[in-house]
């Protein structure tokens, strides 16, 4: 009887402590990605790897020290990803000639939305602009 009880508890342990969605946690809570930044023709462009049919659904841009509530943002910004690049024209957001910036954007895939609930990608990018060139900046996670 004691052996039966021990075996049953051992066999039931995964059911009592497991999470039925555990194997999907990594898909639901993907970490934010980052992207290289370049300045082309007065536009700031982000290179998106494996762009597929992803298109911008949300974008937020601000100087590095700007509090969250004061950051510029736009839902459905009307931008497109062409040849793996998403460029921000001066008509959407005018970057000064120099400074450090934080950009956060979400990309959404219509094709993936038809087959899965995991159809978005989030990007956090910190960069500096100086003399017409962009370069990455190291920041803390708390800045995003």
The count of domains in the chain is 1
Residue 94 lies in a domain: yes
| Among candidate residues 54, 11, 38, the one with its CA nearest the CA of residue 127 | 38
The Cα–Cα gap between 106 and 73 comes to 11
Domain range for 117 is 30-138
Dump pLDDT digits (tens) for 51-81: 999 999 999 999 998 998 899 999 999 999 9
Residue 126 lies in a domain: yes
pLDDT for 7-64, tens place per residue? 565 666 666 666 555 555 555 667 889 999 999 999 999 999 999 999 999 999 999 9
Q: For strand 55-63 and strand 43-47, is the pairing parallel, antiparallel, or unpaired?
A: unpaired
| CATH assignment of the domain containing 99 | 2.60.40
Is 86 domain-assigned?
yes
Residue 81: inside a domain: yes
Is residue 89 domain-resident?
A: yes
- For residues 96-104, average pLDDT: 94
DSSP 68: G
Whose CA is closest to 143, among 63, 88, 73? 63
Residue 25 domain flag: no
In sequence order, the 6+-apart residues with CB closer than 8 A to the CB of 61 are 71, 72, 73, 88, 93, 101, 102, 103
Query: Is residue 4, in this structure, part of any structural domain at all?
Result: no
């Amino acid at each position: 009887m004691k052996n039966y009880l021990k075996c049953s508890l051992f066999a039931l342990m995964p059911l009592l402590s497991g999470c039925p969605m555990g194997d999907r946690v990594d898909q639901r809570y993907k970490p934010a990605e980052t992207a290289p930044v370049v300045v082309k023709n007065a536009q700031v462009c982000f290179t998106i790897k494996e762009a597929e049919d992803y298109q911008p659904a949300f974008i937020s841009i601000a100087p590095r020290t700007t509090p969250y509530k004061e950051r510029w943002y736009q839902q459905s910004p009307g931008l497109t990803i062409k040849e793996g690049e998403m460029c921000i024209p001066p008509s959407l957001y005018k970057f000064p000639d120099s400074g450090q910036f934080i950009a956060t954007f979400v990309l959404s895939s219509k094709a993936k939305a038809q087959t899965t609930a995991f159809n978005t990608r989030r990007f956090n990018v910190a960069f500096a602009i100086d003399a017409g060139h962009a370069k990455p900046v190291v920041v803390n996670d708390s800045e995003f």
